[in-house]
Amino acid sequence: MFDFDEHPHVPEAIALAQRNEINVATSNPCAELWLILHHEQQTAYIEPHAAQRRARELLGCGKHLTSDALAALDPLYADAVRRAKQLDRKHAGDGSPPRSNPSTDVWRLVERICKSNRR
């Protein structure tokens, strides 16, 4: 899992991972978008620092989540997945490239982890 932030070689890294059959989860512009989507929709382009600031406002912490923040996120998980999928549909519908800002597929990673824990 990684975020885009200001990394210049993200498309190449994703392509290399795919060629080597490695699944990746990304969040554009940053991991905090995933946290924001638990609380609200974010359909407009957002700068990384603005996303980080908004996540702190919503959770009282940054990406290093406190136990209270984790507990608050858990019941909002389905909303975050729905909003992330809506962003994918938005980008497909308006012709913007997949994984455009804002977008996240961290939910795929979470689903995979949950599935493997049920075994």
Secondary structure (DSSP) of 3-65: E-TT-TTHHHHHHHHHHTT----EEES-THHHHHHTTS---S---HHHHHHHHHHHHSS-SS-
Q: What are the extents of the domains in the chain?
A: 2-117
Residues 6+ apart with CB under 8 A from 99: 4, 14, 26, 28, 91, 105
pTM above 0.85, yes or no: yes
Answer for the pair 80, 38: CB distance below 8 angstroms, yes or no: yes
- pLDDT value for 3: 84
Given this model, what pLDDT does residue 9 score? 86
Give mean pLDDT in consecutive 10-residue pieces for the chain, a chain of 119 residues.
81 91 93 96 96 96 90 96 96 92 94 84
Q: Which two tokens stand for residue 29?
A: 């512009």
User: Residue 57's pLDDT is what?
Assistant: 97
